C-alpha cells in the first residue's frame, strides 16, 4: 500500500504540472489563429490544414447541407476543444476535484451538454484518479488534433467534401459516408487512393487513419480518393478456399460448403497466429530503371516476400528476401502493358507510402492472369496486416448486417468528443465465443476391421 500512496502523491504533482502545461499549450495555439488556413476555417483555433486543393474551392464545391454540417462540426469542435476559456474552465473543474474542498457545484463550469458523449462522460463522477488522468489526457490530445477537409469522389462522378480529424479511421469515415449516401452499407465499400503518375491504386484498410495516409501526399498532388465498392476487398474471408487451397483446381473449389469455409477461416485466423497462404510461383520482376521484365520464382512467407534470384533450386537456403511488409504498401496498377511494357496488365507495386513517383525504391511485379494477381495482392495483405484485417472484416460484416443502429454513429459524429472506446473492440470480443461449428468427426472406425 505504501507504494500506492506514493503514487497518488505523484499523480497530484503531475496534475499541477499538467495544468501548467495546458496553459502554455493554449497560449501557444493562439497565434495559429492568424494563419490563413484557420482564417478560412473562420471558427477560431482549431488547427485545420487544407488537403490537396484550395480550401475555398473545396468549400465552394460543398453542397449547402454539407457546409452546414461542417460548420456545425466546427462549432461543436471549438466548443468542446477550445483550449482557451472554456477548455481552461473545464480543466479547472477537473483540477478542483483533487482538492478536499471540491463540491459538485463545480460541475456547472463544465462545457454545455450540447456534445452528448462528453457530457455524459463527465456526469458520471470519475471513479478514480486514474480515470481523471485519462480524461485530462484526452483533453490534452484534443487540443492538438489535426483536421483535413477532404474531397471524396463518388463512382457516379459526383463528390462529397468531409472534414476528417486525425483520430478517425477509414472505417469511421466510411460509416459517415454511409449516412450521407444511403448506400447499401455492404462490406465492399471502401476508400481508394489513386496515383495518376504511377497509374496505381490502393484500397485503404479500415483501421488506417485517413489523415495520416493523406499526409504522405505532396502539396500539389494529383492523387484522388474514391468512395466505391470493390467487390474483391474481403475475398480472403468470403472465399478463403481460393487462398488456402489454391493448388486445387478451381472446379473442385467451387462446390465448397459454407461450413468448410468457416473452418478454413477458423484455422488460419482463429488462433494466436494468422497463417499466411503458402503462395509460390513465377512472377515477372521489372529490372531496375529498365522496361525489362524477368521471370523469377517467388514465395510468400509470413516474414516477407522471397524469391530465387539465380539458379533453379528452391531450397530454403536459395531463398532471398525480396521485401518485408512493415514499411511498404501494396498497390494494383492500370495499363502497365502500355506504360512499362509489362508482360500483362496484371501487375502490382510495392512501395513506401511516401514515394509518389517512379523510383528505384518502387518494386514492380507482374502476374500471368487476373486470378493470380488477386491471390498475390490479397495474400500479401494478409501477411502485412494479419489479425487486424480479420477484425476489419468482422466489423464490416456487422455494419452491413445492420446490427449496429445507424443513429448511434450519427450521435457520435455530431458530438465533438471522441468515444474513447471504439465499438470495434466489442465486436471482436463477441466473435470468438460463437465459433463456427466444427466439422463433425468421422464415425469411429467401422466394425469390419480386424481386431
Partner 1 sequence: MASWDLAVTVEDLGSDAPAVTLSVASDLHVGGVILKLVEKTQIKRDWSDHAIWWEQKQQWLLRTAWTLEKYGIHADARLLFMPQHKPLKLGLPNGKTLRLKACFSRPVFQTVMGICKILDIRHPEELSLLRPIEEKKKKKDKDSAEEIYDLTEVPLSSASRPLLYDGMPAHFADSPEMEAVYKMLSVTQPPPAPEVIAKQYRPASVVDKAHINGRWLDSSRCLMQQGIQENDRVWLRFKYFSFYDMDPKYDVVRLTQLYEQARWAILLEDIDCTEEEMMLFGALQYHISKVSQSEPQMVSSNAAMDDLDSALQSLEVKLEGESSSHSFTSTINMISYFRPKRLTLKGYKQYWFKFQDTSISYFKSKEESIGEPIQQINLKGCEVAPDVNVTAQKFLIRLLIPAPEGMNEVYLRCENEEQYAQWMAGCRLASKGKTLADSSFQNEIQSIRSFLAMQKKSSHGNAPTNDESINTHSLVSPRYHKKYKAKQLTPRILDAYQNVAQLSLTDAVMRFLQIWQALPDFGLSYVVVRFKGSRKDEVLGIAPNRLIRIDLAVGDVVKTWRYNNMKQWNVNWDIRQMAIEFEGNINIAFGCVTADCKIVHEFIGGYIFMSTRSRAKSDTLNEELFHKLTGGHEAL
CB 200 within 8 A of CB 243: no
User: Counting contacts by CB under 8 A, is residue 438 touching partner 1?
Assistant: yes
Count residues contacting partner 1 (CB under 8 A)? 65
User: Counting contacts by CB under 8 A, is residue 356 touching partner 1?
Assistant: yes
User: Counting contacts by CB under 8 A, is residue 355 touching partner 1?
Assistant: yes
> Of these, 60, 196, 218, 403, which contacts partner 1 (CB under 8 A)?
218
Helix (H) / strand (E) containing 296: strand 293-301
Between 248 and 294, CB nearer to partner 1: 248
Helix crossing, 85-96 with 129-143: angle to 10°?
Answer: 170
Contact pattern from residue 308 through residue 337 relative to partner 1, giving x for each residue in contact according to CB under 8 A and a dash for the rest: --------xx-x-x--x--x----------
Whole-angstrom Cα Rg for the chain: 26
Between 105 and 220, CB nearer to partner 1: 220
Per CB under 8 A, the segment of 134-142, 224-232, 391-399, 402-410 that binds partner 1 is 134-142
Residues in the chain: 451
Phi, psi of 406 (to 5 degrees): -65, -35
Residues 417, 299: Cα–Cα separation, whole Å = 46
User: Counting contacts by CB under 8 A, is residue 271 touching partner 1?
Assistant: yes
Return all residues near 147 (Cβ < 8 A) that are at least 6 apart.
46, 47, 48, 49, 77, 163, 164, 165, 166, 211
Q: Beta partners for 152?
A: 160
User: Counting contacts by CB under 8 A, is residue 435 touching partner 1?
Assistant: yes
Return all residues near 14 (Cβ < 8 A) that are at least 6 apart.
133
Which residues from 292-311 bind partner 1, rule CB under 8 A? 301-304, 306
User: Counting contacts by CB under 8 A, is residue 278 touching partner 1?
Assistant: yes
- Closest C-alpha among 132, 126, 47, 140 to residue 88: 140
Residues 184, 396: Cα–Cα separation, whole Å = 12
Which residues from 13-32 bind partner 1, rule CB under 8 A? 14, 17-18, 21, 24-25
Between 157 and 442, CB nearer to partner 1: 442
Smallest separation (angstroms) from partner 1 to the CB of 263: 6
SS3 221: coil
> Of these, 99, 157, 405, 442, which contacts partner 1 (CB under 8 A)?
442
Contact pattern from residue 358 through residue 397 relative to partner 1, giving x for each residue in contact according to CB under 8 A and a dash for the rest: -xxxx-----------------------------------
> Of these, 267, 287, 369, 430, which contacts partner 1 (CB under 8 A)?
267
Between 60 and 359, CB nearer to partner 1: 359
CB 365 within 8 A of CB 350: yes
User: Counting contacts by CB under 8 A, is residue 10 touching partner 1?
Assistant: yes
Per CB under 8 A, the segment of 105-113, 128-136, 159-167, 330-338 that binds partner 1 is 128-136
- Closest C-alpha among 273, 263, 261, 291 to residue 364: 291
Between 137 and 406, CB nearer to partner 1: 137
SS3 368: coil
Residues 240, 263: Cα–Cα separation, whole Å = 10
In the block, cell 455524459 appears at 120
Residues that bind partner 1 (CB under 8 A): 7, 10-11, 14, 17-18, 21, 24-25, 130, 133-134, 136-137, 140, 218, 245, 247-248, 252, 260, 263, 267, 271-276, 278, 301-304, 306, 316-317, 319, 321, 324, 327, 352-357, 359-362, 433, 435, 438-439, 441-447, 449-451
Amino acid at each position: 500500500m505504501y507504494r500506492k500512496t506514493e503514487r497518488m502523491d505523484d499523480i497530484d504533482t503531475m496534475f499541477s504540472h499538467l495544468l501548467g502545461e495546458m496553459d502554455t499549450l493554449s497560449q501557444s495555439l493562439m497565434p495559429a489563429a492568424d494563419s490563413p488556413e484557420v482564417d478560412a476555417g473562420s471558427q477560431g483555433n482549431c488547427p485545420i490544414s487544407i488537403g490537396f486543393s484550395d480550401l475555398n474551392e473545396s468549400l465552394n464545391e460543398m453542397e449547402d447541407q454539407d457546409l452546414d454540417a461542417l460548420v456545425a462540426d466546427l462549432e461543436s469542435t471549438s466548443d468542446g476543444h477550445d483550449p482557451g476559456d472554456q477548455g481552461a474552465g473545464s480543466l479547472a473543474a477537473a483540477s478542483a476535484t483533487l482538492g478536499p474542498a471540491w463540491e459538485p457545484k463545480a460541475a456547472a463550469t463544465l462545457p454545455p451538454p450540447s456534445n452528448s458523449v462528453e457530457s455524459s462522460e463527465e456526469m458520471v463522477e470519475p471513479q478514480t484518479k486514474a480515470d481523471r488522468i485519462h480524461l485530462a489526457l484526452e483533453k490534452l490530445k484534443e487540443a492538438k488534433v489535426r483536421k483535413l477537409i477532404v474531397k471524396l469522389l463518388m463512382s457516379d462522378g459526383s463528390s462529397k467534401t468531409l472534414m476528417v480529424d486525425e483520430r478517425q479511421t477509414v472505417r469511421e469515415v466510411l460509416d459517415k459516408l454511409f449516412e450521407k449516401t444511403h448506400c447499401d452499407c455492404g462490406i465492399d465499400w471502401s476508400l481508394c487512393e489513386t496515383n495518376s503518375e504511377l497509374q496505381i491504386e490502393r484500397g485503404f484498410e479500415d483501421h488506417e487513419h485517413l489523415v495520416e495516409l493523406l499526409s504522405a501526399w505532396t502539396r500539389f498532388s494529383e492523387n484522388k480518393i474514391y468512395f466505391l465498392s470493390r467487390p474483391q476487398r474481403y475475398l480472403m474471408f468470403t472465399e478463403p478456399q481460393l487462398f488456402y487451397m489454391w493448388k486445387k483446381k478451381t472446379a473442385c473449389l467451387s462446390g465448397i460448403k459454407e461450413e468448410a469455409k468457416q473452418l478454413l477461416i477458423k484455422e488460419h485466423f482463429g488462433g494466436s497466429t494468422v497463417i499466411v497462404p503458402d503462395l509460390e510461383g513465377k512472377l515477372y520482376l521489372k529490372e531496375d530503371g529498365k522496361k525489362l521484365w524477368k521471370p523469377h520464382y517467388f514465395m510468400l512467407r509470413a516474414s516477407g516476400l522471397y524469391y530465387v534470384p539465380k539458379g533453379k533450386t528452391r531450397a530454403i537456403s536459395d531463398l532471398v528476401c525480396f521485401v518485408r511488409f512493415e514499411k511498404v504498401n501494396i498497390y494494383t496498377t492500370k495499363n502497365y502493358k502500355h506504360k512499362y511494357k509489362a508482360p500483362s496488365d496484371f501487375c502490382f507495386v510495392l512501395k513506401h507510402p511516401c514515394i509518389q513517383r517512379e523510383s528505384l525504391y518502387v518494386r514492380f511485379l507482374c502476374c500471368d492472369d487476373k486470378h493470380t494477381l488477386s491471390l498475390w495482392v490479397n495474400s500479401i495483405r494478409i501477411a502485412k496486416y494479419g489479425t487486424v484485417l480479420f477484425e476489419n472484416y468482422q466489423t464490416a460484416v456487422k455494419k452491413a448486417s445492420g446490427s449496429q443502429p445507424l443513429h448511434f454513429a450519427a450521435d457520435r459524429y455530431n458530438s465533438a468528443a471522441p468515444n474513447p472506446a471504439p465499438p470495434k473492440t466489442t465486436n471482436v470480443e463477441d466473435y470468438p465465443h460463437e465459433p463456427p461449428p466444427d466439422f463433425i468427426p468421422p464415425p469411429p472406425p467401422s466394425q469390419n476391421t480386424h481386431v
